[in-house]
Structure 1
């Protein structure tokens, strides 16, 4: 027996390094749970983007990130304002938490409450909406515009908070979600310069002009000439366009220096923060880009800039408060001129079209008015763009995960190949039944330590109704490929179900089942007296797990969150995934089930396990029923029945494959001439039939391997 103990010790030492390594899946933290109450698990991003991906079952539902890891907007103190943000898969901010700041106005003046109140306004904001902070102008009713109250005396700080939240969230959205843009393909060329005339600027598209006459405005705004007249802010005749707007991105000297002159261009560029983009907007005509009561230094209410439907956060730079700009080219003066800025961290890409929009307030009747947005697209010419070397297209996330877990996959595949061989050649290997106890013990340790604790390969009923819902709502295999261990195990189990039934998984691949069996083995060695479940009660209790399965699957169609909570009837998450590092009630439940298994062999598997029930249903379609049976099994010999701890052998000697875990104990007995006495019973049967005597029924002592014959009842 020493060599067996040494072999087990060697296996444990070999598996020890695996136990020290972290799994890809993490328990949902309290912070993540507060942002995503329905979250069931999470994991760190597999690429360079520092975000945590949040899942409900196998479905991604959002992302949690810290803004300091994605942006760098110094506040009034010179330090950034760091927040934890939750973003769902629709591009909506679901929650925010202030982690740290050093803004003097809040630390030593107003207190933190105004800052927290301001931040709280962003909860529920869609990144598709334009945000106007502290606008003193008349507010326009529009689903695309969100108005947030600012904080008096803290304008700089709150605008830094705004830029930080929007820029960080948009960066995550661009990386993870569709419809929010992609990686930047170009940056503004701030080096090249050649003198240009006004005609050159316009001809080459360096200066964008947008005009809309009255008739065109009537069509775009779906209103009458009277409506246009009401909307106009001047008394000029119809010869003056309703909208006459000029737009220019100033950072490229090819535009800014030619338009403003060298001295003015240098002055404006010197005022910009690193990464800020300045755009000049001037307007004439009947409707201006800002209202007459526009407050300098605030966010424009009428003017919007977007790229791929995501707004660029504009802010008035207030650079012309002393005097109107002097253009170096013969540009006709504008009625209103402003320079607005936004950060390139907001996802600005010069290679993409810029959607320039104007919100126009049109009267519907004497009492009501509505805001209608009109827009046009402007593309910057190639001459002011510097292409960004495109990064190599990364492999899909699931492929990267599979490559990272090559060793684990190889170890699991080796075990599955050996397991398959054992089942295929079970009759040939049965003559080596004396080694079954050792092999079984090694297998149970491997399943618990490697498949369970390290590889996190515990299958669950949750996977079943995740698959059912996926088939119901639209199957996407990539969701399941994100966890290679579970994917491989499920494919293998589905294959094996139709060959040998549920027994292969329940007996040789389930970590919690292995835990129960090891506890039962230890209890047997310690001579713990077993509880004998009444046969009638047992025959009824085995159907309880099918009821649990139906209840869970049915609930999943009603409420996935409720079904996930009810799935805690499975102790797998506590005992295997979290290795008992969980709150006390869950640990007590899992430990209690293991303790019960010391008295009733694998009680949870037999009576409660909904996963086992689901596999048993599919296992009814199995092709093979290979466990050897003899005519003498059941009557008169019941040795195998007494050795079957899970009560899967009927009194008739037949195997109940819906309950059998195929531990091969009966196969080892029936092929061991020193233990199986069926031949002796066969000879006695023939003698008793010849003499007409009653045939005795054997009640064999499972612990007596040298028993020579039956006792009678």
Structure 2
């Protein structure tokens, strides 16, 4: 049984990472900013300034752009973006990149992310180092990479760009970024180069030397150009190579095969062929292949696109004009995962640079844009995924946890149905403590499945207002509520209070520690113990009344339960809360589960649920209570009447009395009967 349980535990891990909650995110937002309201259900929040006005957006990269890293898992970062698109901060939340986990450590990674502060999403940000002096005039903004971790920081950079551009398009540009279309591999349209030019499938930009002089007219670089040539200064052709029909019409067979192999390795990249037949060329002489081109930039919806050389030396189809065969050629790549849509208008801009002066010349530039758009007929546009309900989204996010919890509850129910065999184990106490350890670690600290009377109050308010959606946001807790409700029918309150409450388990561990330390055990007089049973119902009534009549104080009154401090926040709270929760655990070292047996408002609610119990599941004999009082004396909860009858509303299903009842060496009626049998024999 325990091997199966451990197996379930190893399977427990989130399949999809859910966005951070307000409680987890708010402490990360430093003054003068603070966290506002959620903008959507994908982890985007409003960022407020010190006056309460909207200053920008806060979001995680993983929910918006889950690009896999080397470990297969996305790198998750927190981005603070102002309303103009400037990065206020980029912070690492989680990563599993091998080079940073067991090699360099996270310090270089965090230092890399600090470079984003102050830069704008409107700048063409590039990871890498500019090569040669000529590149200093490039429009690109270069971020220093991390030695030995180039690929990992580039993945992180692309994740930041993809998530930030998604927010910028939707919130700042008003453009909804739907699923990016992909080239249709089955679409076959016989077409020639000339037909593509005539139909506008090949975009063309022509700039004469006179146009170049006009661009620099009135500046200090007006007289710094070279003598005008015979041909055009820029004669640029651009073609989308994503659609196979267009690639076949433009490329030689060997290059076509190389493009097909590249597409198979990087199916999210859209390749573009650039041919420059003028005097300008495409990049500076210092350009290094497989990096961002230093004379080319691109944008869509007013936001930059990340261009990168595909490192393919193209050969053109034999029927293309000879002037193009001898021209400068390059194949660039654009990542559709970053929001690029080739079927919508975008532009590529070619930068012309002039230098003024002899010593440390000053660079000036002019830009010549070329509009691009590929018709829809060449693409397949995937349908937008159906919007999941909050409950379906939560189910997906916690799928592994729910499977593990379901397995654990199945095993627990099976063990409790066979209660006589469980209680009769020689190692019953270690077995029980092992189950409680799983409850504390998995259900409590990991799964955050500590039930609370706060949920009951939310349900009560929902019944009044006509909405119970609060339950659907936490399927993990809902499964435990369902198990507790089924337990009401079978065993009363005992299933939850005795076996599924993480804070109750902590108190029981504290009790055993107190026994190990040989601390004196305190048991209140019976009259006081009975009076203390009313503390829980009174606390419950006070909390419910506060929720309805003074809702602004409900959160404060809810701190009467130490569950949030001990389990949810794991004692990471102000000292007063820690002392309250830790104090009750310390009390349990000398007074067995004192909070459960006195002040617990949830326990009081569970007593009412126990009224649904359908059977008396604890076996009794006629001698129980008269004359035998052993079970009553041994019951740590005081749940057995002097008459031997079980008070199920106070029973925690610890099974101590069951183990005594079935033990021929401890049950007094069985011992007496055995002695009589021996005498008769």
Task: Give the TM-score normalised by structure 1.
Answer: 0.49
Distance in 2, matches of 1:263 and 1:406, equals 67
Q: 1:184 aligns with which of 166, 178, 186?
A: 178
Contact 2:252–2:315 (CA under 8 A) maintained in structure 1: no
Supply the distance in 1 between the matched residues of 2:88 and 2:337 (Cα, whole angstroms): 21
The aligned residue for residue 302 of structure 1 is: 295
Number of the residue aligned with 2:204: 209
Number of residue pairs matched by the alignment: 403
Q: Deviations over 1:338-365 (max 9, x none)?
A: 2121211111122321111122222355
| 2:78 aligned residue | 84
Q: Give the C-alpha shift of residue 43 in structure 1.
A: 4.2
2:247 is matched with 256
Q: Are residue 244 (structure 1) and residue 235 (structure 2) matched? A: yes
Aligned partner of residue 113 in structure 2, secondary structure: helix
1:138 paired residue number: 133
Q: Could you say if the C-alpha distance between residues 103 and 376 of structure 1 is closer, same or farther in structure 2, counting changes exceeding 3 Å? A: same
Aligned to 1:317: 310
**Aligned pair 1:122/2:116, yes or no?**
yes
Alpha-carbon distance, 1:303 to partner: 0.2
- Could you report, residue by residue, the CA deviation over 1:137-181 in whole angstroms, capped at 9, with x for unpaired residues? 436678964221223343322222221111121122223x22274
Partner of 2:43: 50
What residue in structure 1 maps to residue 320 of structure 2? 330
- Any residues of structure 2 matched to 1:529-548 within 5 Å, and which? none
Deviations 1:255-303 (A, max 9, x none): 2122115553342132241311111222132212211121011111110
Q: What does 1:68-467 correspond to in 2, within 5 Å?
A: 68-134=62-128, 135-138=130-133, 145-175=140-170, 177-179=171-173, 181-184=175-178, 187-191=181-185, 192-222=187-217, 230-231=224-225, 238-261=229-252, 264-272=255-263, 273-320=266-313, 324-331=314-321, 332-364=324-356, 367-387=361-381, 448-450=546-548, 452-453=550-551, 458=552
2:11 corresponds to? none
The whole-number CA distance in structure 2 between the counterparts of 1:243 and 1:406 is 69
Find the aligned partners of 2:149 and 2:59 in 1 and give their Cα distance. 25
Change (3 A) 1:44 1:372: same
Matches of 2:158 and 2:122 in 1, distance apart?
Answer: 15
- Seen in structure 2, the aligned counterparts of structure 1 residues 275 and 26 have a Cα distance that, compared at 3 Å, is closer
Distance 1:447 1:240, change over 3 A: farther
Contact 1:355 1:377 in 2 (8 A): yes
CA offset at residue 127 of structure 1?
1.0
Structure 2 CA distance for partners of 1:124 and 1:343, relative to 1, 3 Å:
same
Please name the residue that 1:610 is paired with: none
Instruction: Confirm or deny: 8 A CA contact 2:203 2:238 kept in the other structure.
Output: yes
SS of the equivalent of 1:121 reads helix
Q: Structure 1 residues 390 and 97, CA, compared in 2 at 3 Å: closer, same or farther?
A: closer
Please, what is the CA RMSD of the aligned residues?
4.4
How many Å separate the matches in 2 of 1:452 and 1:142?
A: 64
User: What are structure 1's unaligned runs of at least 5 residues?
Assistant: 1-24, 395-404, 414-442, 459-510, 516-577, 589-713
* CA distance in structure 2 between the partners assigned to 1:229 and 1:190 by the alignment: 50
Change (3 A) 1:304 1:46: closer
Q: Distance in 2 between matches of 1:32 and 1:342?
A: 35
Residue 428 of structure 1 corresponds to: none
Q: Is the deviation greater in 72-81 or in 336-345? A: 72-81
Query: What is the TM-score of this pair, normalised by structure 2?
Result: 0.51
Query: 8 Å contact 2:205–2:235 — kept in the other structure?
Result: yes
Q: Secondary structure at the match of 2:237?
A: strand
CA contact (8 A) 2:58 2:79 kept: yes
Distance of 2:138 and 2:56 partners within structure 1: 23
CA contact (8 A) 1:28 1:39 kept: no
- Structure 2 vs 1, CA of residues 105 and 585 (structure 1 numbering), >3 Å: closer, same or farther? closer
Distance in 1, matches of 2:229 and 2:299, equals 30
User: Match of 2:54, SS?
Assistant: strand
Distance 2:213 2:151 in 1: 40
* Aligned equivalents of 1:197, 1:329: Cα separation in 2: 9
Cα shift at 1:189: 3.1
Q: Quickly say closer, same or farther: Cα 1:131–1:188, change in 2 above 3 A.
A: same
**CA distance, structure 1, for counterparts of residue 348 and residue 73 of structure 2:** 33
Q: Distance in 2 between matches of 1:313 and 1:189?
A: 19
Cα gap change, 1:162 to 1:328, in 2 (>3 Å): farther
**CA distance in 1 between partners of 2:268 and 2:182 (Å):** 10
Which structure has the bigger radius of gyration? Answer: 1
Post-superposition shift, 1:99?
3.1
How far 1:383 moved relative to its partner? 3.1
Residues 92 and 127 of structure 1 are in contact (CA less than 8 Å); yes or no, is this contact kept in structure 2? yes
Distance 1:34 1:101, change over 3 A: closer
Q: CA deviation at 1:119?
A: 2.1
TM-superposition CA deviations, 1:179-236 (whole Å, max 9, x none): 2742238624323122211111111122112110111222233368x9578455xx7x
TM alignment of 1:553-564, pairs within 5 A: none
Q: Secondary structure at the match of 1:351?
A: coil
- The 2-side partners of 1:136 and 1:102 are apart by 31
- The Cα offsets for residues 588-637 of structure 1, whole Å up to 9 and x where unpaired, read as 9xxxxxxxxxxxxxxxxxxxxxxxxxxxxxxxxxxxxxxxxxxxxxxxxx
Q: CA offsets per residue over residues 115-149 of structure 1, 9 Å max, x none?
A: 33222212232111101322214366789642212
* Structure 2, unaligned runs of 5 or more: 1-19, 389-457, 467-540, 558-568, 580-681
Any conservation in 2 of the 1:132–1:300 contact (CA below 8 Å)? no
